[in-house]
Amino acid sequence: MSSFSTGLSSKLAIISAIVILPLNSAMAEDPTVNRMIASQCAQCHGTNGYARGSFPDLGGDEAKDQADHLLDMKGEDRAEDMMDHQALGYTDDQIRRIAQYYSTLPESGDD
């Protein structure tokens, strides 16, 4: 029984290693670095991504959607809007980190 159980757990370990790999590599990142980069959006999008006025909130967005959105702006043929230029200021990895950070915050707050 014990060998079975050992076998099962090692099998599970292999499976989870495969499945969780991207998550693991994300978790290996220093979360305070992601917070530091993301905080640079707060001047326009509010502390913790809760914006005032018509500027979009960032908190609680799906990480992939937000990253894709920023990458689209970065890829514009001709930068027009302020956000096109802002997006050009970040590496793809930084954009992914920013999106990842805001996706972990609640959608709305009192800030």
Partner 1 sequence: MSLTRRNFIQMVPASAAALALTSGSTAKAAEPIHHVTVLGGGFAGCTIAKYIRMWSDGEIAVTLIEPRANHVSCVMSNLILNKRLKTADLTFEYNDLQLKYGVNVVRDKALKIRGPQKQIRLKNAGWISYDSLVVATGIQFDKIPGLNYKNAPHAWIAGGSTNKLRNLINKMPDTGTFVMTVPKTPYRCPPGPYERACVVADILGRRSGYLDGSGSTPPRVIVLDANPGIQAEKSTFTSAFNDLYGGIIEYIPDAQVESVESDDPNSLVVHTTQGSFGGDVINVIPTHGAQSILRRSGLTGESRWADVDPVTYATTNTLFQDVYVIGDAQGTSQPKSGHMANAQAKICADSIIRTVHGQSSYTEERLQNITTNSACFSPITYDKASWLTAVYSYNPDTGSMALVPGSLGEAHNWSTRNFNDMFDWSNNLFADTFK
Q: Is 43 in the site for partner 1 (CB under 8 A)?
A: yes
CA dist., res. 30 & res. 39, Å (int): 15
CB 45 within 8 A of CB 56: yes
Give the residue from 77, 87, 101 showing the smallest Cα distance to 29. 101
* Identified binder of partner 1 from the candidate list 62, 72, 80, 92, rule CB under 8 A: 80
**Selected range binding partner 1 among 6-14, 18-26, 35-43, 99-107, rule: CB under 8 A:** 35-43
Q: Is 46 in the site for partner 1 (CB under 8 A)?
A: yes
CA dist., res. 50 & res. 36, Å (int): 16
Q: Which residues bind partner 1 (CB under 8 A)?
A: 29-30, 32-33, 35-37, 39-40, 42-47, 51-55, 79-80, 82, 84-86, 88-90, 94, 97, 111
